[in-house]
Every structure is written in structure tokens, then in C-alpha cells.
Amino acid sequence: MRPVLMRRPHLGWGFLNLLAMNHSLSIPRRTRFLEMLAVSLTALSKFLFMDYLDWRFPFVAVATVGWLVYVLYRGKKDRSLFKYWGFRTDNFKKALYYLFPFAILTVIACFLIGYFQNSLNLTWHLLPILISYPIWGAIQQFLIMALVAGNLQDGWGNQVPKFWIVGLTALLFSLVHSPNFWLMLGTFLIALFYGTIYLRIRNLYALGLFHGWLGALFYYTVVGSDPFQEIFLKMFA
């Protein structure tokens, strides 16, 4: 009798293949729901503190510290959560393998759009944003990918197709950046790609780094704004 050979899974670029890996961890649905509710409240408070009151830096600082405290508190009780959420380095290179080509295309698109709509605003202010923004980028990716997409996949994945999880996550991330058209479009497209990657390779360090760098470039090319001026210099004006 001939032995049955098991085929190894193909690690190609196919969309469906990227959604194939499971990273489930036993977490009560109630906890998952409360985490998603907390993310929603954080997103809604953005419209009050950043858009209406123009307290950009205080909001980012408080949200960053608050969620870091939550991560450390939960991680201290169960260290496996760090790896489960994506605070890990063992698959960092693998995540870069998927993210790098997308990043190159995004950089080219940013400069082309900025050039043709005359919105390029490249100053030295971009440098400190490139250094600081990945921290806030990692927090955003933790909220939207780990606590929304990840919780939906592992808590209700048998009821909601993964394609819809990625689409819903991207839509929510886009709505948070309203009413700016370019920000909504850019965050929607990037969240579609990042959501696909995250459900396959959970690494928040890589996503946060690329989100911070690409996001900073997006502001200074496509949007034509200066976050360094709006966030930091305004505090001392």
C-alpha cells in the first residue's frame, strides 16, 4: 500500500492563503466584546478631543499611555497574550516580506499624487514625525487589528467570514479619519491590506513601523499638512 503524502501549505501571495492561519487563544467573548467597545469609545473620543477641541497631543499621549497600561496589565496576568496580539519578533522578517513591496508602491503613489495635486510639503519636520509616529502607529494597529479584527476572527470567526472581518475593520478605520477624503481613502486601502496580513502573520511591530512611516509621508505629500507644526509647535506658540 502506497503511503499518503501530505502536501505542505503554499506560502504564496494569494489573498485567501493569507487568511488561512489560525492564532486563536481562549478568551471569553465578554472580554472580547468589552475590548471592542473600549476601542469604539476611544475612536469616538477622537472626534471630540482632536477634531472639535483640537487637543491632538494630549489625546494621543493619554490614549497611548492608557492602552500601554492595559497591554502591560493583561500581559502580566497572561504573558501568552503578548505573542497572541502580535507583540513578537520571531515573525518580524516574514511580516516585512509581505509589507515591503506594498510600502514601495505606496511611497511612489504618495509622491505622484502629491506632485500632480501640488500638495508636496516636504520639510525637516518630517524627520521627527518619522521617529515618533510609529509608536502611535503601533497603538492604532493594536486597537484596530488585534482588538477588532483579531477578536472578531477568534470570537465570532465561525459566524463571520474573514473577508467581511477585514472589510469591516477597514471601514471602521476609515470612518475614524473622517471627514478628510484622502485620509479616509488611504486608511481604508491600507487597512484592507494590513488586516489581511495581520490575520495571517500577527506582528504589530512591523505594522506599527510601516503605518508610522507611510502615514507620516502621506501627511506631507498627499494631505499636504504638517503634523509636527499642528501637534508639537502649536503647544509652544
Core vs surface per residue 103-114: b (16+ CB within 10 A) or e: beebeeebeebb
| 92-116 vs 204-218: helix crossing angle, rounded to 10 | 10
What sections of the chain are H helices per DSSP? Answer: 15-18, 29-46, 56-77, 80-85, 92-116, 126-141, 151-156, 162-176, 181-200, 204-218, 227-231
Q: What is the pLDDT along the chain (237 residues), one digit of tens a residue?
A: 444 443 444 444 444 444 444 456 788 999 999 999 999 999 999 999 998 898 888 999 999 999 999 999 999 999 999 999 999 999 999 999 999 999 999 999 999 999 999 999 999 999 999 999 999 999 999 999 999 999 999 999 888 889 999 999 999 999 999 988 999 999 999 999 999 999 999 999 999 999 999 999 999 999 999 888 877 766 655
Please say whether the beta carbons of 81 and 25 come within 8 A.
yes
CB atoms closer than 10 angstroms to residue 86: 24
Distance CA 232, CA 97 (A): 34
* Full-model pTM: 0.85
Distance, first Cα to last Cα, the chain: 82
Distance CA 139, CA 230 (A): 20
